[in-house]
Amino acid sequence: MKKPYPEATSALEGVLFDGMTIMAGGFGLCGIPENLITALRDSGTQNITAISNNAGIDDFGLGLLLQTRQIKKMVSSYVGENKEFERQYLAKELELEFNPQGTLAERIRAGGAGIPGFYTKTGVGTLIAEGKEHKDFNGETYILETGLIADVSLVKAWKGDKEGNLIFRKTARNFNPMMATAGKITIAEVEELVETGELDPDQIHTPGIFVQRIIQSKDLEKRIEHRTTRKQGE
């Protein structure tokens, strides 16, 4: 089975269906699988449950799929950058499940590692804890959170090889490594797709076993949400 695909549209062929669950890597617009998100929008897949830390902004990232109403439900920790999201949610056009960011990350890590649930003290005594099993360990109360998996995970890496081994860059790593492990099918887009053997095995963040398809990104925008600078010499 060959993992490399020529581009995003063909990489998504045969794995999409209405009502599916998709994970998409990224923190804000940093480290998002841009090509794959655009191709997912163009596929017209409907009623998607999207698990992603954020919802993009109005006209970029997962915001593109909110514009076209392809997302039925979001599982996220923070959606404050997307006004269309807020509007759809307050108008009850969109379902939303807020997860604390660390709980979301750990649920995905657990899902990918075959761990169906774990206890955490995050959210005890808050809305997040309602309806969840509570258990005391060493005099402290914890709640049960469940592992998450997805029909398809879309991740973004810096470099990848034809075996699907991935290396991330700086804070663009974020949720991508866990999501790669938690997809029944994981599709990676990378800035540089190299021959097998060109990556140092000691530097690989995500081993290729977690990646079923891989493409090289084209025309990445890599938008910056808050361009914040200091003056030279400050």
Which positions touch other proteins (CB under 8 A)? Answer: 27-31, 53, 76-81, 85-86, 89-90, 96, 98, 100-106, 108-109, 120-128, 158, 168-178, 205, 222-232, 234
Which CB, 45 or 217, lies closer to other proteins?
Answer: 217
Q: Which string of b and e fits 62-74 if b means at least 16 CB within 10 Å?
A: bbbbbeeebbeeb
| CA 227 and chain centroid, separation | 23
CA distance 199 to 178: 20
Pairing of strands 95-98, 134-137: unpaired
The least CB distance from residue 172 to other proteins, in Å, is: 4
The least CB distance from residue 89 to other proteins, in Å, is: 5
Which CB, 16 or 25, lies closer to other proteins?
Answer: 25
The least CB distance from residue 146 to other proteins, in Å, is: 15
The least CB distance from residue 229 to other proteins, in Å, is: 6
- In sequence order, which residues have a C-beta less than 8 Å from that of residue 225 and are 6 or more positions away? 28, 29, 57, 81
Indicate the DSSP class of residue 54.
-
Which CB, 11 or 129, lies closer to other proteins?
Answer: 129
The least CB distance from residue 107 to other proteins, in Å, is: 10
Rounded to whole angstroms, what are the CA distances from 159 to 3, 109, 111, 193? 14, 21, 25, 6
Which CB, 16 or 179, lies closer to other proteins?
Answer: 179
Q: Which H helix or E strand runs over 110?
A: helix 101-112
The least CB distance from residue 203 to other proteins, in Å, is: 12
Structure tokens at 15: 């794995």
Which CB, 12 or 56, lies closer to other proteins?
Answer: 56
CA distance 215 to 234: 41
Which CB, 87 or 184, lies closer to other proteins?
Answer: 87
